[in-house]
Amino acid sequence: MILVTGSSGLAGREVASRLAGRAPVRLAFRDPAQGGEGATDAERVRFDFGDPSTFEAALRGVGRVFLLRPPRLARPRRDFGPFVAAMRRAGVGQVVFLSVRGAARNPLLPHHGIERLLEASGLTWTHLRPNDFMQNFATVHRADIRDRDEIWAPAGRGRTSFVDVRDVAGAAARTLTEPGHERRAYTLTGGEAFGLAEVAVLLSEALGRPVAYRNPGIPAFLRHNRAAGRPLALGLVMTGVYTAARLGLAAEVTPDLARLLGRPPTALRSFIGDCEAVWRR
Ligand SMILES: NC(=O)c1ccc[n+]([C@@H]2O[C@H](COP(=O)([O-])OP(=O)(O)OC[C@H]3O[C@@H](n4cnc5c(N)ncnc54)[C@H](OP(=O)(O)O)[C@@H]3O)[C@@H](O)[C@H]2O)c1
């Protein structure tokens, strides 16, 4: 049995759908009634990282866990320590953790502490470290693109090897269902790095209207986010992400994803074609 945490979210939903039919799956939701459609043949269970009374039922008979760090949980030991200990007690055989690019070297990222926690726990771990998701253009940047024909980000001319979360989920499904990924870490990137001006050109071509890249300073970017109603915490996370890009830290292209999938990663142009409707007015 594979337990998928974060099942109602972007990545967890994709992982669950890729596991469907390949292995028995249990989907973890804070509120199973609100959890959306999900994979129809999967079990559902109530689960909250902050409520240890939910751990036992979630982990009963579970051999492998897809572990997702919800964006609001930022204290590795406090927020994840109890569940890591419970996985150990329950005899979980492997934990595939959705980490983030750069987590190994950056102690400011909560994922860094979670990776360390897993490595010290005695559990068998696999870390997936994806670069920025292409889907961010269809979520956090969506309204600016759809309503104002603009991408706002303080990324300068920095380039990013954006990755499609559907590919990340495919890699997660492989590492959860095949041997050979124990105690391995993979950096998952797209096949090519793009500056945001290039992304704006691809969007313009797909949408048939000009989309511009706005490259504000950090204070202007944070003001723009507030005015758009996004929480300050999200603005700060995005500032960190795009500052890394500006400094040239997000452009690396690795072979890991293509090796795991057995095919090239999804191209940014294909992703934009698939999602085009989300930016139509
Ligand atoms: N976006 C990117 O570019 C990017 C790139 C690399 C890595 N990542 C990493 O990916 C992760 C986010 O994944 P995502 O985009 O799939 O997130 P998401 O769509 O925001 O989903 C978060 C999930 O966590 C669940 N959750 C929230 N609080 C919980 C709690 N206390 N206990 C149990 N479950 C809880 C949510 O369930 P509810 O429905 O109950 O709220 C939801 O299913 C983050 O760790 C992020 O750093 C993101």
Span 215-221, average pLDDT: 96
pLDDT of residue 39: 56
Residue 25 pairs in a beta bridge with 2
Ligand 1 mean position to 98 CA, how many Å?
10
pLDDT of residue 34: 74
Percent of the residues in the chain that have a pLDDT greater than 90, as a whole number: 95
Q: Decide if pLDDT at 153 tops 60.
A: yes
Name residues contacting ligand 1 (CB within 6 A).
Answer: 6-12, 30, 47-50, 68-71, 98, 100, 130, 132-133, 136
Q: Decide if pLDDT at 50 tops 80.
A: yes
Span 191-200, average pLDDT: 98
Ligand 1 mean position to 70 CA, how many Å?
4
Q: What one-letter code names the amino acid at 266?
A: T
pLDDT of residue 168: 98
Task: For residue range 33-43, list pLDDT tens digits in order.
Answer: 876 665 567 89
Residue from 3, 126, 128, 127 nearest 64 by CA: 3
Q: Which of 51, 68, 118, 131 to mutate to test the pocket of ligand 1 (most atoms within 8 A of CB)?
A: 68
Percent of the residues in the chain that have a pLDDT greater than 70, as a whole number: 98
Residue nearest to atom 28 of ligand 1 (CA): 70
Task: For residue range 223-255, list pLDDT tens digits in order.
Answer: 999 999 999 999 999 999 999 999 999 999 999
pLDDT of residue 33: 84
Residue from 88, 224, 94 nearest 148 by CA: 224
Q: What one-letter code names the amino acid at 5?
A: T
Ligand 1 mean position to 72 CA, how many Å?
8
The average confidence (pLDDT) of the chain is: 96
Diameter over CA atoms, the chain = 56
Span 199-223, average pLDDT: 97
Share in percent of the chain as helix, strand, coil (round to 5): 45, 15, 40
pTM of the complete model: 0.97
Domains of the chain: 2-129 (3.40.50.720), 134-161+191-251+264-279 (3.90.25.10)
Token readout for 10 is 């972007």
Ligand 1 mean position to 208 CA, how many Å?
33
| Alpha helices per DSSP H over 7-60 | 10-19, 55-59
Residue nearest to atom 18 of ligand 1 (CA): 9
